Structure 1
Amino acid sequence: MQMSNTVPNKTLGEIAIAEAIKAVKDDDSAAFTATVALGLVMAARQVERAEGSEDITDKANKATFRAFLKRYANRGGVVWRDSDDILNQALAKRGKERESAVSDYIDKKEKGARLVEGLAKLKTWSFRLMKDVCVNHADIIRDLLAKKTAGAGGDALAEAFKAFIRETYGASFAKLCSALSEPAKAPKQKDEIEAIFARAEKLADTDLIKLIARLQGLMHEKASTAAQVDDMLGAESAPAEEMAEAA
């Protein structure tokens, strides 16, 4: 008796779930790899600064990111949203003209230009990562410099930095974000009376008169309700008081 090798067809739902799970995992992996990779670019620049006896400061990361954007655009990567035509015009040039045009594409962006979604996310998290590294873990930069001075190659230095990131912040983008998330700022407590008064000051006289009348009505309603509650409590407690007096 022969066994059937027919693979049962998957349902649309099974296919969709499998693809969604894979996409989410791939997106996390890609985001983590890109963030750490750009962090490594910034770390390399910090090592160079430390080598020249300059301070390890996260302020240098901004210039490094801008240099990265120029290299990225020069290889055909769109940096600003809806700017494909501008970039293509720059890339169509040759030699120094192309280099200058790509540089202007980054430095002389149109007013209101925004980074494409992927780069915006990459900027946010790579900046947070390297700010934390520079402020709280500057020893990794010094360690990389020491390894470099001792003759370690680029691959070894890169792996040392990546290992540090995995051990310190986690080995996924989700864990990295969790480790670097900034605590939410507590909302300022508002003075409700002052807020109402500020709005009341802007009312026309007729509206202000209506507001005062409604406030007075509200006060009367609350006072009336309180009086009714007091009466009910008083009525319920009367027999107990009478019983106490009788005793």
Structure 2
Amino acid sequence: MKQITDIMEEKALPIIDKIYYDGFIQGLIHADLSEEAVVHYLKADALYLANFSDIYALLLAKSDNKDEKNFFLSQINFVLNEEIAAHKNLADYIGRDYNEIIKGGEWYPSADHYIKHMYYNAYAFGMAETLSAMAPCPWIYAKIAEKILAENKLADDHPLKFWVEFYAGDLAKDCLHWYYRIINRLAEHMSIADRKRLIKNFLESCEHERKFFNMAYTQECWELKE
């Protein structure tokens, strides 16, 4: 019998090609991504990751398992202190100081909708629902990075090769191992309706991921101002 996380991935797989062929990733592959797109992405993603770490803290409080708590603690450290390396690679690519870029961080519409989707599940439901909404973040980044490496021969001096290799490494896989272990364990005791919610959360977040990249590529902003 398939585990629920297998079903999630199977249903979401078609979006990988769509994200891969969208403008942001193609620009990254060909090293012609605009400065405006990179700045927009970094301003949004710095805020997104800070809140992602806060959601890990909520999960830490929900768990009564020491190993799971240690995992969430390690992920807070990774998101706040290690993933910044991939961000700095993008900043270096456009010749800008990373810390100066993110000073103007802003919740653009697609990023705002995405993080609220996660917070809603964290406050309204339990760990499985929250993690099913969070899982597409590491899953999609890993799948996209692996696809880039499989289908393109990036030169050693490619300015964004570090970004690709960072997300194609074992970090995302190790993270998903824990996510899926928790989700599958909790899903065993759920009703059919609750299990469907997990799948729905995962699929919705996959669409949010695509919109996040496109948000940066098109420099999406709120139309109405204060």
Asked if Structure 1 and Structure 2 have the same fold, meaning a TM-score greater than 0.5 normalized by the shorter chain, the answer is no
Q: TM-score, normalised by structure 2?
A: 0.26
Q: TM-score, normalised by structure 1?
A: 0.25
Q: Which has the higher relative contact order, 1 or 2, with Cα contacts under 8 A spaced 6 or more apart?
A: 2
Question: If you compute each CA radius of gyration, which structure gives the higher value, 1 or 2?
Answer: 1
